[in-house]
Amino acid sequence: MDIIHTTGNTCINKLLDEEKDELFGSARNLYFKAGEGVVKKGASVHDLFLLKEGTVELILDEGREKQSLILLFAGEIIGVNCVYSTKYYRFSALALTDCEVLVLNYRVFSKLLTNNSGFSMSFIQYISMVNERFLNWHMNLTEKNSAGALAFLLCELEKSYGRSSFEIPLTRKDMARVIGFSRESVLKNLADFRKEGIVESEGRTIKILDADRLHDISTYG
């Protein structure tokens, strides 16, 4: 079966107009600055957080150690895999950029799932996609060398932002933490990518010049 409902937004588009009015009419907007916490580990799961704008990192806090789980982009529901499985969030969500979040009412959302079978099926597909992407994210990072892991991250950012030139919402140190390698390896690999004409970079701005080559490094690195 083809995966159609790849984001929370496309899932919600299965609702009828009057159902959307009910859902959005009971929702509220929250705004977060880069560096602010959107969800805290251990907080009660009350509502659903639809990321309208910005980039968020899911983090597993273990004392002083912070393990990066995945990056989320506009259209995703933050922590959707916790909403109907546990009472508390098992991770934190950090705004990497300025973010706008639409807080969807849990009871209204649940009622619409019960009443609209098409919406319910699309939500199941969406959760399945989220789990698949989570697994692929970790497999692609843990099974690659440092160049392959960095290339994978850049390919994911390009795909999510929909353009070849973008600002990376991470410092070099944070990029290293996300891909599980040292800051020095990130700097070296970026320098190699520039030297080989694969990317241009200035500060946090990256322009991908040779997407095919970058994808090959991501796949085989």
Fold of the domain built from segment(s) 8-133: Jelly Rolls (2.60.120)
Residue 119: alpha-carbon gap to chain centroid: 22
Average pLDDT over residues 108-113: 96
The predicted pLDDT at position 62 comes to 67
User: Domain 144-220 maps to which CATH number in 3.20.20.80, 1.10.10.10, 2.60.120.20, 3.30.70.100?
Assistant: 1.10.10.10
Secondary structure of residue 17 in the 3-state scheme: helix
The predicted pLDDT at position 4 comes to 44
How is the chain split into domains, by residue range? Answer: 8-133, 144-220
Q: Which of 32, 203, 197 is nearest to 103 (CA)?
A: 32
- What is the spatial distance between Cα 143 and Cα 153, in angstroms, rounded to a whole number? 13
The pLDDT tens digits for 174-221 are 999 899 999 999 999 999 999 999 999 998 999 999 999 999 999 987
Average pLDDT over residues 101-123: 94
The pLDDT tens digits for 53-99 are 999 999 987 666 778 899 999 999 998 888 888 889 989 999 999 99
3-state SS, one letter per residue, for the chain:
CCCCCCCHHHHHCCCCHHHHHHHHHCCEEEEECCCCEEECCCCECCCEEEEEECEEEEEEEECCEEEEEEEEECCCEECHHHHCCCCECCCEEEECCCEEEEEECHHHHHHHHHHCHHHHHHHHHHHHHHHHHHHHHHHHHHCCCHHHHHHHHHHHHHHHHCCCEEECCCCHHHHHHHHCCCHHHHHHHHHHHHHCCCEEEECCEEEECCHHHHHHHHHHC
Average predicted confidence (pLDDT) for the chain: 90
- What is the spatial distance between Cα 35 and Cα 54, in angstroms, rounded to a whole number? 12
Q: Which of 130, 5, 135 is nearest to 72 (CA)?
A: 130
The predicted pLDDT at position 116 comes to 95
The pLDDT tens digits for 17-53 are 999 999 999 999 999 999 999 999 999 988 999 999 9
pTM for this model (two decimals): 0.87
State yes or no: pLDDT of 6 exceeds 70.
no
Structure confidence at residue 142 as a pLDDT band (50, 70, 90): confident
The predicted pLDDT at position 73 comes to 92
Secondary structure of residue 190 in the 3-state scheme: helix
Q: Which of 177, 146, 199, 202 is nearest to 71 (CA)?
A: 177
